[in-house]
Structure 1
Amino acid sequence: MAMTPRRPVNPKDAAEALFKPVKKPAAPVVERRAAPDVKELVSIKLDSAVLAHFQKDGPGWQDRINDALRAVVEADGGE
């Protein structure tokens, strides 16, 4: 039974083996929980009428939407 050498005997093959790209294992995905009461950037689609309702009073409309959603969460029992 013929055994193949573990190391290349051809100098060119040996050089190519040195520069062969090494596959690195992917780092595990770590989900980090946000600290309590920290606002996160999200993107949502709202009806134009809903958006107009919150924007009609000027700046602070995002906080008003957040307050309205927080009231729904608290009315539903909170977290």
Structure 2
Amino acid sequence: MFSSVQQLGGAIGVAALVTVAERHGGASAGSADSAGFSFALTIAAVILVLGAVLIAALLRTDRPTPAAASTDDRISTADQG
């Protein structure tokens, strides 16, 4: 299932970037020039960076490490005793 979704997403992404390249290239219909593909690859790079920033922000958590949790436990039990 994951492989199918990955293949479909890749095909749609390539189709979208080729469409952007053709529209931006200004060449005759059916042949995008290198300026159009350069623009499309720039857009792909921007999407990649935005995705990386989003993933980094979502994966960042402020959970205590096991060493810090055990230190806090020792302090709280010492206060109770």
| TM-score grouping bracket, smaller chain normalisation | under 0.3
TM-score normalised by length of structure 2: 0.26
Query: Which one has more relative contact order, counting CA pairs under 8 Å at least 6 apart?
Result: 2
Specify the structure having the higher radius of gyration (Cα). 1
TM-score by length of 1: 0.27
By percentage of residues, which structure has more helix? Answer: 2
